[in-house]
Amino acid sequence: MDPSTIWLFVGPPVVGGIIGYFTNDIAIKMLFRPYRPLYLGGKRLPFTPGLIPRNQDRLAKRISDTIMGSLLTPEELQKLAQRLLQTERVQAALLWLLKLAIEQLQGNTQQKTAKVLAGILHDLLGQTLPRLLKVLARQEDFLETQLNQIFDQVVLEFRLSEEQATKLADWLLQVVLPSDVIRQLLIDFLTDRNIQVIDEGFREKTSGTYWVIANLFGVRNALLRLRTFCLDERDASNARIAELLQSLNIQPRLKEWLQNLSLQNLPISTVRQLRKTLRDTVRSYAQDKGAEVLEELGKSVDWDNLAMVILNRLRTSPVVNESLEVISLELALILERYLERDLESLVQQAIPILNIDQVIINRVNATSPQDLESAINGIVKSELQAIVNLGGILGFIIGLLQSASLLLR
């Protein structure tokens, strides 16, 4: 057989295979290419751009409808939310947030946080608390329980120790009532009228031997001499008074009296009246000057420094760090109870807000034809290549049938 005859029988399968292979390959590439429309003489050429770029808007809408209609339904979103919002996951997220907040106190935001906290504390003590105190102090039972407890446990049980009584007695005798003060008190007391009253009373109310002494000698001259001595002999009288105080053991007696001083020795009615007087005094003071005192106190405090101290304490406090896990668990349980009741309605409200379908459409439209082609080829590359190969095989088979037909002829 000559070459032309051989080509007559071999050519159809070869040409058919080549045509079938490249036809399918071109058809698949035309799904994406050309990426942009081509124009000739001001008219757009047919099949430009490719099928998918030309219908990208409809493709995005169809993908969105498919996903929202069968994959991300409200029921599926609710199940997904339930899986995501399990107590363990929520607790871990809350614990992470709490620890992150504590760590932020160590960073550059500490100064800002301290300034905010200082403002809150200043407003609380300088403005809010004084106003609140004015309102509360008008109530009849204002701090009644607390003041009664303080009175019963502190004031009523208070006693001076031996050392305290000694120092207080020494202070009274050396500062409050020294010899010179006592001398001056005697001078002020021994006026002419007082001396006359004492002398007349002593004459009228004594009897027996004392009556004889009072009426024969009287006490007037003695008291006048005592006053004159205190006036004229200041140093000598001070020395005599000091010697008299020491001789009479005034300091030990005063110390013993102070050490035994206690409200428990008073009658019950007196103690109750003192407790009521304490409550009324505190309530009256709070009404009149409590707000002013708090405002002045608020002005005198260095709030920035106080806020920094509080933040540093919170940051290093072991109690705070140990309680973070407990707090996160409690918050997670509260959130779980809330979600059990309202999760379905929350999902229904969240779907329009999230606008997932429009997000999908925008995302697909924002994807370039090149990226779409790469993504689809990355998923079904082997299947598309199989279609190309199948075209070549089918073309080859049809060519064989044609060659067989020619051979039979």
Q: What is the pLDDT of residues 332-348, one digit of tens each?
A: 777 777 767 766 677 67
Higher pLDDT, 337 or 269: 269
pLDDT of residue 110: 61
pLDDT, one tens digit per residue, over 303-320 is 778 777 777 776 666 766
For helices 192-205 and 220-232, the axis angle rounded to 10 degrees is: 150
Answer for the pair 12, 402: CB distance below 8 angstroms, yes or no: yes
What Å distances lie between residue 347 and 8, 66, 130, 195, CA to CA?
A: 71, 19, 46, 100
pLDDT of residue 49: 77
| Partner residues linked to 40 by β-bridges | 43
pLDDT, one tens digit per residue, over 85-126 is 777 777 787 777 777 776 665 555 566 767 777 777 777 777
Kindly report the average pLDDT of the chain as a whole number: 78
Residue recorded with tokens 């290549």: 385
User: Does the pLDDT value for residue 8 go beyond 80?
Assistant: no
* Type of residue numbered 17: G
pLDDT of residue 226: 86
